[in-house]
Amino acid sequence: MGISDRYREERRRMVEELRRFGIRDERVLSVMEKIPRHLFVPEHIRHLAYEDTPLPIGHGQTISQPYIVALMTEALGLTGQEKVLEIGTGSGYQTAILAELAGEVFSIERVPELAEVARRRLAELGYRNIYVRVGDGTLGWPEEAPFDRLIVTGGLPRVPDPLWDQLAEGGRLVAPIGGRYDQYLWVYTKERGRAHKRALCPCTFVPILGAHGFPPGGRGNKGPFGLFGSSRPPEDV
C-alpha cells in the first residue's frame, strides 16, 4: 500500500472514531476525511497525525486534537457562505477545515514563523479564500468586521470586548474560556446584541497571549489540574 493510501485509511479510521465520540455533522466529518492532517505536523511525527491527540508544531504551540477540532467546527454551524474570523492559526489545519465549510476565513497568528508556514502550506493545498495575518488576535480584525462566526483556538480568561463587538448579529463565537492551564469550551450566540451561551466540555488549550489574553511567560500548557481540567463549567464567564 502506498503512503497516501495508508494515510487515507488512517483518516477513515480517525473519522470513524469521531463518529463514535458523538460528532454528527456529516459535512464536518467528510471534510476531516479529506484534509491531509499529516501535512500540518512536523515530518518526524507524521505517523501520529491521525491519532486523536494534540501534537507539537514548534514555538511551544500545538495542533489541536481532532475531536476538539471537530466539536468546535460542528458548534459553529457553518452553511457555506459565512465570513469567519479565527484567532490562533497555528498549523493552519483548523483554518483549512473552515475554508472548506465557509465563504471566507480571516485568521490571525501571533508567531510570525507559524503564520508564514501556515500561509504557504494553505496556498500549496490550493485554498484561495483564506487570509492570514500576524498580530494580536484578541483585538480582532476591525477592517473586515463584522464576522458571522468567530473561533478562538487557544485559552482566554474571558471573551475580549473587541471580538464580541466584531461578531455580527445572529453570529456565533466558539472559544475555550477559563484559566491559563485549563478551560471550558463555550458557544456564544449574539441575539439582539445579547449573549446566549452553551457549555460544550472541559478542555486544555495553549494560552492566547495579548492585550485581552494572558500575559506572556508562564509554564506552557501543563497546568496543575491535569490534562482535562475542572469537570464543571465555571459560573462567572
What's the farthest any 2 CA atoms get from each other in the chain?
A: 55
Chain-centroid distance, C-alpha 79: 18
The nearest distance, CB 121 to ligand SAH, in angstroms, is: 11
Closer to ligand SAH by Cβ: residue 107 or 202: 107
Contact pick of 28, 97, 137, 182 for ligand SAH (by CB under 6 A): 137
Closer to ligand SAH by Cβ: residue 219 or 232: 219
CA distance 127 to 95: 10
Please report whether residue 32 would count as binding ligand SAH according to CB under 6 A.
no
- Segment 41-48 long-range contacts (CB within 8 Å, at least 24 positions apart): 41/91
Contact pick of 88, 176, 202, 229 for ligand SAH (by CB under 6 A): 88
Contact pick of 15, 78, 101, 111 for ligand SAH (by CB under 6 A): 111
Please report whether residue 107 would count as binding ligand SAH according to CB under 6 A.
no
Would strands 130-134 and 104-109 be described as parallel, antiparallel, or unpaired? Answer: parallel
CA distance 175 to 177: 6
Closer to ligand SAH by Cβ: residue 72 or 237: 72
E strand or H helix that includes residue 34? helix 26-34
Binding site for ligand SAH (CB under 6 A): 57, 61-64, 87-88, 90-91, 93-94, 108-111, 114, 136-138, 153-154, 206, 208-210, 213
